[in-house]
Amino acid sequence: MGIRKARIKKHISRIILYVLVILIVVWTLAPFTWLFVSGLFPYKELISDRTTSWFPENPTLKNFQAMFDMS
């Protein structure tokens, strides 16, 4: 039984490690995702109070085009 308990403990610690890594990756990528998704919103839709979804009704790439035109 000692070997079995050691294996179970190893599996549990590995699962905890994977969960922590996934949480850190999500925590790190969330701002970049929000930045990209916000760039898809037309300006008027972005500043309106009705923006409640993650995805715009009328996605546009004009914000990205304007950003690259300025640089």
Polymer length in residues for the chain: 71
Checking if the pLDDT of 57 tops 90, the result is no
Spatial contact of 55 and 37, defined as CB atoms under 8 Å apart: yes
> Which H helix or E strand runs over 41?
none
Checking if the pLDDT of 50 tops 70, the result is no
Spatial contact of 60 and 40, defined as CB atoms under 8 Å apart: yes
Largest separation between any pair of C-alpha atoms in the chain: 67
Taking the C-alpha atoms of residue 64 and residue 62, their distance in angstroms, rounded to an integer, is: 5
pLDDT band at 51 (very low <50, low <70, confident <90, very high): low
